[in-house]
Chains A and B, each alone.
Chain A
Amino acid sequence: MNKPEFVYVSYISTTPQKLWSALTEGELTRQYWGGEQSSDWKAGSRWEHRRNGAERRVAMIGDVIESDPPKRLVLSWADPKDRDRKAGYSRVSFEIERVGEQVRLTVTHEGLEPEMLRNVSGGWPLVLSNLKSFLETGTSFEVRDCRPEA
């Protein structure tokens, strides 16, 4: 049986390149995602999300499955505590398409265990709303904790 998936579509007034950068550069993700996404973003490489704050705790990890800038990025996704538990890994795809003067971002998070699905269903809208505000207004709103478990 297929595990459930979560899909979120948003339309952002920006360019595919700027959106790709916003998703992959730690300096930028720090400003709206509550932490740094870091990796060299090549297929096969590892990636991790390190929270803002003194501790700089690693909150999420995974591998880069596909990387086709600035159109498509596919990551495996897990909580660090599930690093060695295969079933704990889910999969996130970012699809970036130009639609007229805007860009459509489709985030598909699949292979989720039920509790993770609940968490990401709350987390993604917050992060992606913040991403849109960040790209369109240059600032983002305070996100106390945008870890999926928030």
Chain B
Amino acid sequence: MRKSKFVYVTYIRTTPEKLWDALTQPEFTQVYWFGARLESEWKTGSAWKMVFPDGKVTDSGEILEADRPKRLVIRWRNEWKPELKAEGDSRCTMEIEPTADAVKLTVLHEIDQPESKLIGAVSGGWPKILASLKSLLETGQALERIATEVEATVLERAVRVEVMVNAPVEAVWNAWSTSEGVQTFLAQKANIQLKLRGPYEIYFNPADERMTTQGCKLLSYAPREMISFEWILPGDLFPQLRKTPTWIVVQMRASGACRTAVTITQLGWGEGPDWDRAYDHMEKGWQMAAGMLQQRFDRGPIDWVAQHMMWKERRAQAAEPTQPAKKVSP
């Protein structure tokens, strides 16, 4: 079977022993590995896990070979993201070879499947982690935690939608921070008061309480820059999750006199299949909302009658268990 592989070679001015220790001591890894502690006895057969400050175990496995300070092989499985976890065990080999003044570190991370999402995910992480490790060993200081770039597998999960809108930032601010404004693009009815802990309630279907964010509050704001508010998930689709508010952060930045870059982020996701479904639903939902925000400034306030028809169809699709597409003979 075809494998997926990621290989990274770096040369670090240190000794093999120091490099080994930096790779295997949790006090060290915390500094350069995005706050993660890699915990193990580091002997062949020992259990191994990656633990974050909040206690979350994102990856786990077993030490397959440990030959300090030359070679470390880890059976490595993701525990955090369902589609990565489903791929099963990957294998990570770290080889340390001394050269004239520097130590050569080769990391090989592989799995017995083609186009592995797990290998795709770690391919982004390894260069950051190893760059930070190299800086730490050579300069005494790790790189700044590259928070905006880290994959969802490592840091907190967030829906993030970015959109460019043809309107000045004052108009976009108004659209997000007033009832009248929100009613032109997001929902037919809104109840918003621009003050801390004031209501920020959206009524997608005023007749059905489940399709509203009634009870939600405004959390924080900076005029013409950012607004943040609670968000409870739709009660018709995710009744069990409705008790746990997530939250939204909307950021806006002028891009010239008549355009504004808007970023919508949703955080506060829990774990489990219901949350995964909710995540997918809201990701699509915010992408649609971003489109509606653009439309509002390109063509005028949204026609809610037409929009409601479209939403009704989308809900019918979301509520049904997924049906395999019927094959049509050519």
Complex: how many Å from CA A143 to CA B149? 32
Say whether B147 contacts A141, CB under 8 Å.
no
Say whether B144 contacts A137, CB under 8 Å.
no
Tally of A-B Cβ pairs under 8 angstroms? 65
Query: Which of the residues B11, B132, B138 comes within 8 Å of A126, measured between beta carbons?
Result: B11
Say whether B100 contacts A141, CB under 8 Å.
yes
Say whether A100 contacts B146, CB under 8 Å.
yes
Identify the 8 closest CB pairs spanning chains A and B, nearest first: A11-B131, A141-B101, A125-B9, A129-B11, A9-B127, A101-B144, A141-B102, A129-B10
Give the residues in chain A near B149, CB-CB below 8 Å.
99
Give the residues in chain A near B329, CB-CB below 8 Å.
none
Interface residues as binary, B1-22 with A (CB distance below 8 Å gives 1, 0 otherwise): 0000000111111000000000
Say whether B132 contacts A11, CB under 8 Å.
yes
With both beta carbons as reference points, the residue of chain B lying nearest to A128 in the complex is identified as: B10
Complex: how many Å from CA A10 to CA B135? 11
Interface residues of A (CB under 8 A from B): 8-13, 99-102, 121-122, 125-126, 129-130, 132-133, 136-137, 141-142, 144
With both beta carbons as reference points, the residue of chain B lying nearest to A97 in the complex is identified as: B149
Give the residues in chain A near B8, CB-CB below 8 Å.
125
- 24 CB-based A-B contacts, threshold 8 Å: A10-B10, A10-B131, A11-B127, A11-B132, A12-B131, A13-B135, A99-B146, A100-B147, A100-B148, A102-B131, A102-B144, A102-B146, A122-B9, A125-B9, A125-B10, A129-B12, A133-B134, A133-B138, A136-B138, A137-B13, A137-B139, A141-B100, A141-B101, A141-B102
How far in angstroms is the closest Cβ of chain A from B214?
39
Complex: how many Å from CA A54 to CA B139? 33
With both beta carbons as reference points, the residue of chain B lying nearest to A144 in the complex is identified as: B100
Give the residues in chain B near A136, CB-CB below 8 Å.
135, 138-139
B128 located at the interface, meaning its Cβ lies under 8 Å from any Cβ of chain A in the complex: yes
Give the residues in chain A near B282, CB-CB below 8 Å.
none
**Interface residues of B, CB < 8 Å — how many?**
25
Give the residues in chain A near B102, CB-CB below 8 Å.
129, 133, 141
Say whether A130 contacts B11, CB under 8 Å.
yes
Complex: how many Å from CA A125 to CA B126? 14
Query: Which of the residues A11, A129, A130, A144 comes within 8 Å of B143, measured between beta carbons?
Result: A11
With both beta carbons as reference points, the residue of chain B lying nearest to A139 in the complex is identified as: B13
Give the residues in chain A near B147, CB-CB below 8 Å.
100
Query: Which of the residues B11, B100, B141, B146 comes within 8 Å of A11, measured between beta carbons?
Result: B146
Complex: how many Å from CA A122 to CA B106? 11
Give the residues in chain A near B143, CB-CB below 8 Å.
11, 13, 101-102
With both beta carbons as reference points, the residue of chain A lying nearest to B102 in the complex is identified as: A141
Give the residues in chain A near B132, CB-CB below 8 Å.
11
Give the residues in chain A near B139, CB-CB below 8 Å.
13, 136-137
Complex: how many Å from CA A8 to CA B149? 17
How far in angstroms is the closest Cβ of chain B from A3?
18
Complex: how many Å from CA A130 to CA B127? 15
With both beta carbons as reference points, the residue of chain A lying nearest to B144 in the complex is identified as: A101
Complex: how many Å from CA A142 to CA B141? 23
Complex: how many Å from CA A5 to CA B138? 30
By CB atoms of chain B within 10 A, which of A11, A100, A141, A142 has the most?
A11
Say whether B144 contacts A100, CB under 8 Å.
yes
* Further 18 A-B residue pairs, CB within 8 A, beyond A100-B144, A132-B134: A11-B128, A11-B132, A12-B131, A13-B139, A102-B131, A102-B144, A102-B146, A121-B9, A125-B10, A125-B11, A129-B102, A129-B134, A130-B11, A132-B131, A137-B138, A141-B13, A142-B100, A144-B100
Complex: how many Å from CA A125 to CA B143? 19
Give the residues in chain B near A133, CB-CB below 8 Å.
11, 13, 102, 134, 138
Interface residues as binary, B118-158 with A (CB distance below 8 Å gives 1, 0 otherwise): 00000000011001101100110101111111000000000
Complex: how many Å from CA A141 to CA B137? 14
Q: In B1-51, which residues have CB < 8 Å from any A CB?
A: 8-13
Give the residues in chain B near A129, CB-CB below 8 Å.
10-12, 102, 134
How far in angstroms is the closest Cβ of chain A from B10?
5
With both beta carbons as reference points, the residue of chain A lying nearest to B7 in the complex is identified as: A121
How far in angstroms is the closest Cβ of chain B from A14?
11
Complex: how many Å from CA A125 to CA B12? 11
Q: In B201-234, which residues have CB < 8 Å from any A CB?
A: none
How far in angstroms is the closest Cβ of chain B from A67?
25
Complex: how many Å from CA A12 to CA B141? 12
Complex: how many Å from CA A108 to CA B8? 14
